[in-house]
Amino acid sequence: MRVRPCDGLVGTIRVPGDKSISHRAAILGSLATGQTKIDGFLQSVDCLSTLACLDLLGVKFSWDAGALLIDGGGRRGLSEPTEVLDAGNSGTTMRLLAGVVAGYDFLSIFTGDASLRKRPMDRVAQPLREMGARVDGRGDGRFPPLAIRGGFLKPISYRTPVPSAQVKSAILLASLYASGVSRVAESSTSRDHTERMMNYFGIPIEKRDGWVDIGPVTEDPRGRPVTIPGDISSAAFLIAVAACSPGSKLRVENVGVNPTRTGLLDVLRTMGATIELDKEREVCGEPVADVVVTGTKLQGATVAGGMIPRLIDEIPALVVAAAKAEGATVVRDASELRVKETDRIRELAAGLGQLGVVVEPRTDGLAIEGPQEIRGGVASSSGDHRLALALACAGLLARQEVIVRDFACADVSFPGFINVLVDLGVQVDVA
Ligand code: S3P
């Protein structure tokens, strides 16, 4: 795709539904009894991978005017898949569903695309084994394909070695099948959508003294309507561009502003950005608002520690804004970036480097000295959706046009990105 530089972003937009919440709504709707109607479900490649796996597990669903209707069969309603479950590019699909099928005494085999097959699965395999499931995989059980035969699970008390919402969620989902109370703790809080949605579905789950306690779960949850807000991780790209470009005035309507996900807004504010929340409300247990950004010149910042899980997916967007900020921006304690859809430390530095931006990759993060001119040119997404979006956003702030090769992978999280840019008056086309 080709994008031309713009003089700030002015307008009111919406972004597609939240990816994390969409996966969870589909999964919990499948494990509930009766109908769950999901409005705002993200029809992106990743979420469609979850639906394809649920389909193979025997879940019945249909579409009604853009809403997803799931006809849930209860916790015991799944059946042994006759085919390999293909999670595509989606770590959330594989790790969360691994937790679900661990509750079943049948064989499930998961695979994924070349990127997902390189991502660590021992982080879910280990606690699920402790609960009593048999989990095997390539590389001594560490990588997909993953084979799971479960059933007869015991409750667990588990401290996750790295803060990971996917690991926490896999354990919480498996705990629906364990008699008794299971507990999960993490060193820094990762996104808590599973906890909130389980609570919304009436599952006994509670946060206490740094632990999430679940169970005993004695009844099937009942299906209910779910409305999904816009994805702050998608909005993040446009928020970051608007925040660092004087002249911008951008309103993103109906965005999820769960505090476990709003680290980027906090960091941009410490960099001097003007970002306000308007029409704050709660929808199906999740905080939602319009995010209003007024562009200005930013200063660099250091981001580390407990902030990292709150903006892990937004670091590509942050780095683009940091290129335009005055002074150094340093990201530390973020080695998790190395095991995302790509090694995002390496690929961000390489991709932005192709556009003339100097980003210093570090073992556990990145450093960037600003302000820098983003020259423009041709850069490759390396098949990573968030890198594709970051490079396109760099193009909005560049001197000359930017061509992003292999941009189609943006559909993994943000289908319709190009149309949103067109609505904002940006000159963009598919080259
Ligand atoms: C996700 C959790 C995060 C995030 C990923 C989606 C989720 O990963 O990076 O894009 O939906 O649970 P972790 O499991 O490493 O927290």
**pLDDT tens digits, 9-50:** 999 999 999 999 999 999 999 999 999 999 999 999 999 999
118 and 143 in contact (C-beta within 8 Å)?
yes
Residue 177: predicted pLDDT: 98
What is this structure's pTM? 0.98
Distance 296 CA to ligand 1 centre (A): 30
CB of 233 within 6 A of ligand 1: the answer is no
Surface-to-core class of residue 33, CB atoms within 10 Å of its CB (0-12 exposed, 13-18 middle, 19+ buried): middle
With cut-offs at 50, 70 and 90, classify the pLDDT of residue 162: very high
Mutate which of 166, 168, 231, 336 for ligand 1? The one with the most ligand atoms within 8 Å of its CB, which is 166
DSSP 279-315: EEEEETTEEEEEEEEE----B--EE-GGGHHHHGGGH
Quickly list DSSP for 19-34: HHHHHHHHHHHHHSEE
Catalytic residue among 313, 364, 423, 429: 313
Whether 367 shows a pLDDT value over 80: the answer reads yes
> How many Å lie between the centroid of ligand 1 and the Cα of residue 8?
30
Report the distance separating Cα 12 and Cα 267, nearest Å.
23
The closest residue, in CA terms, to atom 10 on ligand 1 is 313
Of 426, 425, 383, 386, the closest CA to residue 402 belongs to 426
Residue 274: is its pLDDT beyond 80?
A: yes
User: Which pLDDT value is given to residue 112?
Assistant: 98
pLDDT tens readout for residues 347-356: 999 999 999 9
Distance CA 333, CA 365 (A): 7
Residue 431 reports pLDDT greater than 80: no
Residues 6+ apart with CB under 8 A from 9: 238, 241, 242, 245, 248, 249, 250, 295, 396, 424, 426
Average of per-residue pLDDT across 150-171: 96
Ligand 1 centre distance from Cα of residue 242 (Å): 25
Confidence of residue 370 (pLDDT cuts 50, 70, 90): very high
Reported as a pLDDT band with limits 50, 70 and 90, residue 157 is very high
The amino acid present at 112, given as its one-letter code, is G
Tens of pLDDT, residues 380-427? 999 999 999 999 999 999 999 999 999 999 999 999 999 999 999 999
- Average pLDDT value over all residues in the chain: 98
Q: Which residue ranges form the domains of the chain, and what is each CATH number?
A: 2-16+229-429 (3.65.10.10), 19-227 (3.65.10.10)
Nearest atom, ligand 1, residue 313 CA: 9
pLDDT in tens, 50-95: 999 999 999 999 999 999 999 999 999 999 999 999 999 999 999 9
Ligand 1 near 20 CB (within 6 A): yes
User: Does the CB atom of residue 194 touch ligand 1 within 6 A?
Assistant: no
Ligand 1 mean position to 164 CA, how many Å?
6
| Interval between CA 92 and ligand 1 midpoint (Å) | 6
Ligand 1 atom nearest the C-alpha of 163 is 16
Q: Is the CB of 329 under 6 A from ligand 1?
A: no
Alpha carbon of 330 to ligand 1 centroid (Å): 22
Based on the residue annotation, tell me whether 313 is a catalytic residue of this protein: yes
| Cα–Cα distance, 25 to 47 (Å, whole number) | 10
The pLDDT of residue 291 is 99
Query: What pLDDT does 301 receive?
Result: 98
CB of 21 sitting under 6 A from ligand 1 = no
Which atom of ligand 1 has the smallest separation from the CA of 166? 14
Q: Is 92 in the pocket of ligand 1 (CB under 6 A)?
A: yes
